[in-house]
């Protein structure tokens, strides 16, 4: 059952309907009689099936592309929504968390900046998919653009003059982030080319340095947030070793997100050895394997439950703990994972006041972001994954 459209898609007469039935009826209307529809499979579910076919210890799949989602294997005994007979097979089912909608109930509001809220206000699905809008490829470029816009307003870049292109919503594409971050040399030739394409004809080296720093901050935040979600799922499984099937354009094409996520998951879930592998062609191969492998009957928790994304995972505990409380990133602090990282490092009511490179030109590119903590903690160590916490994910 399609409960609601996301990512800007919309078609009348589909919401609250069984899309499998609609597809079968459409095939009949077109005179297609040689196709039997067995199942409609979410791409994350397909990725898990595809990866598990090659790696038997694969228990989780994660898509980080235009959107984001996560699926994992759950013991049938813990699935309260299962209505069929529990005798015999299957012993496990796939839980499609639909975690892109995590926080739609306000759970993660304290981690959202004013710029996240501004971005959300101008999307077709305002107020929905809040977690996804902070970590996925469809939105990261716009987050960067909004930061650059505010920096220009504070006359910290471009002499305070913003081009028409950079004043246009969604004009700064997420692919620009990958291109800018991938450039190793400090000549910033690629960054200059991107800016010239966006109407900034003569950007300075200092402009380019700040822009690259902003891209790195936004990417790092996305990687750590995705790893935080993954860590909650991994901790719930409680396994010593597990393989995670990864797919999605952002994960595959961004130069550093993969490495950042590896560091983050090792810190957030130190009791589990997590191996990332590419779940190749999950949408195709996984969908083909799904009806064949009867031991992997998928259940989409988002169809029959009012629970949103990762709250739907906690089927065995009925816990009110949310994702980031489940991780319990600090024992004695009200800071949670994203506050601890505080990748944007600025007061909640402002944007990037903290980037003050023009006032302090002697700062290095890393010190140019005022962490407001004067701490020697790195962004990875900033999340205290609190091994002594009594909270179980």
Active centre residues (catalytic): 7, 43
DSSP state of 108: T
Residues 6+ away with beta carbon under 8 Å from 202: none
DSSP state of 113: -
Contact call for residues 44 and 279 (beta carbons, < 8 A): no
Contact call for residues 140 and 218 (beta carbons, < 8 A): yes
Contact call for residues 164 and 149 (beta carbons, < 8 A): no
DSSP state of 72: E
Please state, in angstroms and rounded to a whole number, the distance separating the CA atoms of residues 224 and 38.
37
What is the maximum alpha-carbon separation in the chain? 71
What are 270's two structure tokens?
Answer: 């130190």
Q: Which residue from 119, 129, 120, 91 is spatially nearest to 3, judged by alpha carbons?
A: 129
Half-sphere exposure of 301 (CA within 13 A, CB side): 29
Please give the helix or strand (H or E) that residue 277 lies within, else none.
strand 273-278
What are 333's two structure tokens?
Answer: 């602090």
Using DSSP bridges, classify how beta strands 92-96 and 241-247 pair: parallel, antiparallel or unpaired: unpaired
Please give the helix or strand (H or E) that residue 273 lies within, else none.
strand 273-278
What are 327's two structure tokens?
Answer: 């991780």
DSSP state of 57: T
Strand partners of residue 58: 243
Please state, in angstroms and rounded to a whole number, the distance separating the CA atoms of residues 180 and 184.
9
Contact call for residues 339 and 111 (beta carbons, < 8 A): yes
Give the three-state DSSP class for 25.
Answer: helix
Residues 6+ away with beta carbon under 8 Å from 245: 47, 48, 50, 51, 52, 55, 58, 60, 61, 62, 277, 278, 279, 282
Contact call for residues 206 and 191 (beta carbons, < 8 A): no
């Amino acid at each position: 059952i399609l409960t609601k459209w996301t990512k800007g898609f919309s078609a009348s007469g589909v919401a609250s309907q069984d899309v499998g039935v609609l597809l079968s009826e459409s095939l009949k209307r077109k005179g297609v009689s040689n196709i039997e529809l067995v199942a409609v499979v979410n791409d994350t579910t397909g990725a898990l099936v595809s990866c598990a076919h090659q790696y038997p210890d694969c228990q989780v799949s994660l898509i980080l592309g235009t959107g984001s989602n996560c699926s994992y294997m759950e013991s049938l005994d813990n699935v309260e929504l299962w209505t069929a007979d529990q005798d015999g097979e299957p012993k496990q089912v796939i839980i499609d968390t639909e975690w892109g909608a995590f926080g739609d109930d306000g759970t993660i509001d304290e981690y959202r900046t004013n710029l996240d809220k501004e971005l959300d206000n101008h999307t077709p699905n305002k107020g929905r998919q809040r977690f996804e809008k902070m970590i996925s490829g469809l939105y990261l470029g716009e987050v960067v653009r909004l930061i650059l816009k505010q920096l220009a307003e504070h006359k910290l870049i471009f002499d305070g003059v913003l081009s028409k292109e950079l004043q246009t919503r969604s004009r700064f594409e997420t692919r620009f982030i990958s291109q800018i971050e991938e450039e190793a040399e400090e000549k910033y030739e690629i960054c200059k080319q991107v800016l010239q394409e966006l109407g900034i004809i003569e950007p300075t080296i200092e402009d380019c340095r700040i822009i690259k720093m902003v891209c790195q901050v936004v990417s790092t935040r996305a990687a750590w947030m995705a790893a935080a979600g993954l860590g909650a799922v991994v901790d719930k499984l409680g396994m010593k070793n597990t393989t995670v099937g990864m797919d999605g354009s952002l994960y595959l094409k961004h130069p550093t997100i993969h490495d950042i996520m590896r560091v983050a998951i090792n810190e957030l879930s130190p009791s589990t050895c997590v191996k990332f592998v590419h779940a190749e062609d999950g949408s195709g191969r996984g969908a083909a394997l799904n009806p064949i492998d009867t031991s992997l009957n998928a259940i989409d928790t988002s169809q029959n439950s009012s629970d949103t994304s990762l709250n739907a995972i906690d089927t065995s505990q009925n816990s009110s703990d949310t994702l980031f409380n489940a991780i319990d990133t600090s024992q004695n602090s009200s800071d949670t994972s994203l506050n601890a990282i505080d990748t944007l490092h600025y007061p909640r009511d402002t944007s990037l006041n903290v980037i003050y490179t023009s006032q302090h030109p002697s700062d290095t590119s890393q010190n140019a972001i005022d962490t407001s903590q004067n701490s020697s903690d790195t962004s990875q160590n900033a999340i205290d994954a609190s091994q002594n916490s009594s909270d179980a994910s």
